């Protein structure tokens, strides 16, 4: 039974319903027609905010990246490098485990600004810039391999959980092992990026 839309932002109501459908039924079920039905509006009403399904999915992915960045920023990233990386990794994987379908949508999109130019690409750029800063990347517009390696490692752990190939009770252990594995490479990059005094 649809939940009628009465007040406030129809755009936000559509995104909320989109998140719910995505989590419950998967990506294929997220359509403008279904969200219109769920919000109790005409089939054409969502087009005022999302001209097509792709723009809706882009907005959902952007929302996901914004929430992930907020979670990472809110995490205590102070302390030495092992502490910062540990908190970052566990926060990232924890968000992914709680939002598996959304994470798959976020990272399945073409996130190159020149390719899409959408909100998801801009939000993803903020996510990668945050990781780049922690890793000592000098220019977030010209990233080296480490931010991508870190993201791929954490996304891989999350995907294994989402597909039932890694039991949730082992997530902490595997994430900790990933941090330990990556630390030497990150330390090496930070050492090379720090100028030495003559």
Structure tokens at 12: 């936000």
pLDDT in tens, 134-146: 887 777 677 778 8
Which residues are CB-neighbours of 65 under 8 A, at least 6 positions away?
Answer: 106, 120, 123, 124, 126, 127
Residue 65 lies in a domain: yes
Q: Give the number of other Cβ atoms within 10 Å of residue 87's Cβ.
A: 18
Is residue 108 located within the same domain as residue 175?
A: yes
Q: Max CA-CA distance within the chain? A: 72
Residue 31 lies in a domain: yes
Is residue 121 located within the same domain as residue 161?
A: yes
- Degrees to nearest 5, angle at CA 182 with 90 and 127: 55
pLDDT surpassing 50 at residue 54 = yes
Q: What is the pLDDT of residue 118?
A: 85
Distance CA 44, CA 32 (A): 9
Cβ(93)–Cβ(154) below 8 Å:
yes
Q: What's 121's domain CATH number?
A: 1.10.357.10
Provide φ and ψ at 95, rounded to 5°: -60, -45
Look up the pTM and report it.
Answer: 0.85
Mean pLDDT is lowest, of 3-12, 20-29, 48-57, 176-185, for 3-12
pLDDT surpassing 50 at residue 162 = yes
> How many domains is the chain built from?
2
Distance CA 111, CA 154 (A): 17
Percent of the chain with pLDDT over 70: 89
**Residue 133 binned pLDDT confidence (cut-offs 50, 70, 90):** confident
Is residue 146 located within the same domain as residue 172?
A: yes
Provide φ and ψ at 116, rounded to 5°: -115, -40
pLDDT surpassing 60 at residue 3 = no
Cβ(27)–Cβ(53) below 8 Å:
no
pLDDT in tens, 146-161: 888 888 899 999 889 8
Is residue 83 located within the same domain as residue 154?
A: yes
Nearest to 50 by CA among 124, 137, 118: 118
Q: Mean pLDDT across the stretch 7-14?
A: 84
Distance CA 152, CA 140 (A): 17
The DSSP letter of residue 138 is S
pLDDT surpassing 90 at residue 185 = no
């Amino acid at each position: 039974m649809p939940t009628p839309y009465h007040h406030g932002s129809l755009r936000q109501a559509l995104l909320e319903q989109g998140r719910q459908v995505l989590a419950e039924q998967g990506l294929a079920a997220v359509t403008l027609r279904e969200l219109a039905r769920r919000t109790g509006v005409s089939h054409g009403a969502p087009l005022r905010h999302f001209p097509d399904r792709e723009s809706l999915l882009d907005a959902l992915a952007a929302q996901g990246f914004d929430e992930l960045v907020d979670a990472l920023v809110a995490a205590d990233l102070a302390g030495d490098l092992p502490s910062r990386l540990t908190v970052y990794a566990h926060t990232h994987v924890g968000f992914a485990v709680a939002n598996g379908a959304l994470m798959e949508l976020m990272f399945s999109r073409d996130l190159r600004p020149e390719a899409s130019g959408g909100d998801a690409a801009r939000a993803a750029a903020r996510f990668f810039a945050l990781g780049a800063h922690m890793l000592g990347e000098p220019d977030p517009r010209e990233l080296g391999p480490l931010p991508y390696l870190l993201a791929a490692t954490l996304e891989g752990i999350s995907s294994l959980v989402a597909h039932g190939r890694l039991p949730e009770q082992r997530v902490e252990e595997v994430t900790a092992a990933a941090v330990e594995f990556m630390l030497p490479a990150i330390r090496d990059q930070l050492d090379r990026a720090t100028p030495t005094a003559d």
